[in-house]
């Protein structure tokens, strides 16, 4: 099945500087989208002689509501109407509840939850009059299962997942679809930065009973492209009747759909 609905559409991606975000930018570009790729510093992408459509790279701090509003307005004016909005920006702060400090807690929510709210609110305001558009947030399977020393991360991702469902309920009557993707352990710098040595990947696959973490039944970790594939499906015409969903892409690690 060939996914359709991308050619000529302007797609705004946050957290595009690496990992899942960078993989998604490539797939959107190759599918014919005009991509606006943002991160805390403007992302850098290697030139591609086969590039069919442009990729605009801009710096954006998603925790700054005014900056988000200004960027959306600039894109709408200078590039074109935004048809797709994808939130990938996210941070991970470790710490048990009794040790995590106030700033770390607030920063985690500022990026993972407030940032999603600011971007989606700005997009809802421009998409609603047009009565079309799709928004997808890349969350985490940590939103649906407790993780040791990850209360801030899990709680912020759970909040953003429910926000996307509520947003989807509000905007569905206008023909605007809102969904989430919940990756598990994925081969990105966020994941590999947690490993103490070269056995880290195998330990994640097998499970970490000392912190009550199940393994991955599929027997392998996700690649950024695996998660980007799921996002692409939810953006496509073929997902045209899917709204308020939270698609888990974790190889069965949370033992749920």
* Residue 163 backbone phi and psi in degrees, to 5: -60, -45
C-beta separation of 21 from 13 below 8 A:
yes
Reduce the DSSP state of residue 251 to 3 states and report it. Answer: coil
Q: Which of 56, 153, 212, 248 is catalytic?
A: 153
In angstroms, rounded to a whole number, what is the distance separating the alpha carbons of residues 78 and 72? 10
Element of type H or E holding 233: helix 224-235
Closest to 118 (Cα-Cα) out of 91, 144, 141, 137:
137
In angstroms, rounded to a whole number, what is the distance separating the alpha carbons of residues 98 and 48? 49
Q: Is the dihedral of CA 101, 105, 111, 115 positive or negative?
A: negative
Q: Is the dihedral of CA 57, 63, 67, 72 positive or negative?
A: positive
Closest to 21 (Cα-Cα) out of 1, 41, 50:
41
In angstroms, rounded to a whole number, what is the distance separating the alpha carbons of residues 91 and 76? 27
Closest to 162 (Cα-Cα) out of 112, 235, 123:
112
Active site residue 153: yes
Residues in the chain, how many? Answer: 257
Q: Which residues are catalytic?
A: 153
């Amino acid at each position: 099945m060939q996914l359709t609905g991308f050619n000529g559409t302007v797609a705004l991606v946050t957290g595009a500087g690496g990992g899942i975000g960078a993989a998604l930018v490539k797939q959107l570009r190759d599918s014919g989208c005009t991509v606006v790729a943002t991160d805390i510093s403007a992302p850098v992408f290697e030139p591609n002689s086969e590039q069919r459509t442009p990729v605009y790279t801009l710096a954006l701090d998603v925790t700054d509501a005014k900056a988000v509003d200004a960027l959306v307005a600039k894109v709408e004016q200078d590039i074109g109407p935004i048809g797709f909005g994808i939130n990938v920006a996210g941070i991970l702060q470790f710490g048990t509840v009794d040790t995590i400090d106030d700033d770390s807690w607030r920063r985690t929510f500022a990026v993972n939850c407030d940032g999603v709210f600011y971007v989606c609110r700005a997009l809802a305001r421009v998409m609603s009059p047009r009565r079309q558009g799709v928004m997808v947030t890349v969350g985490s399977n940590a939103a649906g299962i407790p993780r040791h020393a990850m209360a801030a991360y899990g709680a912020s991702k759970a909040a953003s997942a429910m926000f996307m469902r509520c947003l989807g309920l509000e905007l569905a009557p206008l023909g605007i679809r809102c969904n989430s993707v919940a990756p598990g352990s994925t081969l990105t710098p966020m994941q590999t930065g947690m490993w103490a040595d070269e056995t880290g990947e195998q330990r994640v696959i097998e499970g970490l009973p000392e912190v009550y973490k199940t393994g991955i039944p599929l027997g392998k970790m996700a690649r950024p492209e695996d998660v980007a594939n799921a996002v692409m499906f939810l953006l496509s015409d073929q997902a045209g009747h899917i709204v308020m969903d939270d698609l888990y892409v974790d190889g069965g690690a949370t033992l749920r759909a």
